[in-house]
Amino acid sequence: MKTAKKEKLHKLLLSFDRGIRDYPHRLRPELFQTPMRGDWEDRFSIYGTGYSVRTKEAMEEIFEFLSSAMKVKGWNQWGRAYIEKYPSRVYNLSKIGEDFPKFLKRNKKLIWAEMARFELLIAKSFHAFNRGEKISAERFSEINERSKFEFASSTFLFESKWPIANAWKSQKAKLPSKPKNEFALIYRKSDQVFVRILSANEFKILKSFKARKNLASSLKNLDKNFEPSQLSEWLHFWLTNDFFADFSS
């Protein structure tokens, strides 16, 4: 490699180190950037401000639906404002969006906050570490009214005044225009995350399980339209789709 190119490469590497060291005390326009395009020198030069570029990419990996629904201008505006308020202090950006729902809610962007909260759970479900333990079919017969269930670490309940989960399942990158109470379950099977829309009764039972109440206690205070036959159907679905890591009686 020629001396001039070596010097340029050395400067770019120093720029990258300086970019990490000085972050987030950079000028506002440099935050939340889109990666550069061009020859190798231009593309490599993004590492001078690589942390801010990677920050934008990491946020869009987590909030894929929301970033599209907010459109480019809105996403860049609020994403940049969030990064200024909650800059990441570590190289690993997997948790960079943890405070985004709270940030949007404080700024009165309530429906955006709900979608951010939902997509954050999707990301957590995907990356959660499960012990690999499953309830075998042979143990199903041991379930009784005293049984308490332990949720898998990749299983989450979601409740909202907006049909957020339905909007996400549609994949149309369009947020709902009217409020409507919604209950959903986020779970992972193998390496894929699924979302199940729940009735109010199914949600109440699962929420009670999450609070470590037994089956008998969880069946109290359900709506009058609850049919006991539904419980066996739900139990079969829950147990065969790895919602629970274990149960005890």
Q: How high is the pLDDT of residue 242?
A: 86
Query: Would residue 3 count as lying in a domain?
Result: no
Q: Do 97 and 57 sit in the same domain of this protein?
A: yes
Number of domains in the chain: 2
**Distance separating alpha carbons of residues 114 and 162, to the nearest angstrom:** 8
pLDDT of 34: 64
Residue 128 DSSP code: -
Percentage with pLDDT > 70 across the chain: 76
Is residue 234 within 8 A of residue 198, CB to CB? The reply is: no
Output the pTM of the full model.
0.79
User: Sorting pLDDT into bands at 50, 70 and 90, what band is 86?
Assistant: confident
Query: In terms of DSSP H, where are the helices of the chain?
Result: 3-22, 40-44, 50-62, 64-69, 71-85, 100-106, 110-127, 164-170, 200-210, 215-218, 228-240
Rounded to the nearest integer, the mean pLDDT of the chain is: 82
Residue 242 sits in the same domain as residue 142: yes
- In whole angstroms, what is the distance from residue 34 CA to residue 54 CA? 9
pLDDT recorded at residue 32: 66
**What percent of the chain is modeled with pLDDT above 90?**
51
Structural element, H or E, at residue 224: none
Structure tokens at 159: 């409740």
**pLDDT tens-place string over residues 115-157:** 999 999 999 999 998 776 678 888 888 989 999 999 999 999 9
pLDDT at 129: 86
pLDDT (mean) for 58-83: 93
Q: Is the dihedral of CA 202, 207, 208, 210 positive or negative?
A: positive
Query: In this model, does residue 207 exceed pLDDT 90?
Result: yes
* Domain limit, last residue, from 97, 127, 157: 127
User: Does 26 fall in a domain?
Assistant: yes
What one-letter code names the amino acid at 9? L
Judged by average pLDDT, the poorest of 26-35, 75-84, 177-186 is: 26-35
- Dig out the tokens for 15 from the structure: 């720029």
Of 109, 127, 145, which closes a domain? 127
Last residue of a domain, one of 105, 127, 149: 127
> Domain of 79?
16-127
- The highest-confidence range among 21-30, 36-45, 54-63, by mean pLDDT, is 54-63
40 lies in the same domain as 76: yes
Q: Judge if 108 and 47 occupy the same domain.
A: yes
